[in-house]
Amino acid sequence: MKCPECQNTESRVLETRVYKDDEIRRRRECSGCKARFTTVETVFVNYPLILKRDGCQEPFNKDKLRKGIQLACLKRPVSLAQIENIVSKVTKAIIEKSNKSFSAIDLGQIVVKELKSLDDVAYVRFASVYKEFKDVKEFVETLQKDYVFKPRNDSAH
């Protein structure tokens, strides 16, 4: 690492902090001029390709995953930290379970499972897109299978 002041390549690390999941920040001191500076190291992960339903493949994209989850959680009592937690869990799961490619269907199942335990409405929103229901009847049947609906008591209104 070159010192920004004197260009010396020798420095010592004073402090190391993990920032986010894939970034490491190091506070350094130059061995030559004693200047202090911060470096940021990014971990490059070879994410698997996502095999889409139509047969094509695309690189895994954390931002696309995050956006899909955020849309499902729109106007729901779900914090950004909870969304980031799901993104981290899903990312970790696909890295552990795959080395080259990962099915979009399997990816969706992981997200659906995480959302179901977090927020029912977000789960239904995501599942309605992910499961590609043929019609409303199929959608309602799936919901009835997943949840026990109680009849609404309208006499209280």
Domain membership of residue 153 (yes or no) is no
pLDDT score recorded for residue 21: 64
* 26, β-bridge pairs: 16, 39
Q: How many domains does the chain have?
A: 2
Q: What is the pLDDT of residue 157?
A: 46
Distance (Å, whole) CA 31 – CA 33: 6
pTM passes above 0.75: no
pLDDT at 48: 87
**Are residue 63 and residue 32 in the same domain, yes or no?**
no
Sequence-separated (6 or more) residues with CB below 8 Å from residue 66: 83, 84, 87
Structure tokens at 69: 């989850």
What pLDDT does residue 134 have?
67
- Are 36 and 73 contained in the same domain? no
Contact 104, 50 (CB under 8 A): yes
Domain around 38 = 11-42
Judgement on whether residues 104 and 87 belong to the same structural domain of the protein = yes
Q: pLDDT value at position 45?
A: 76
> Which residues of the chain carry a pLDDT beneath 70?
20-21, 130-134, 142-157
What is the Cα Rg of the chain in Å?
A: 23
pLDDT at 151: 46
Same domain, 109 and 127: yes
Per-residue pLDDT at 13: 94
In terms of domains, do 142 and 66 share one?
A: yes
CA angle 86, 90, 92 (to 5 degrees): 115
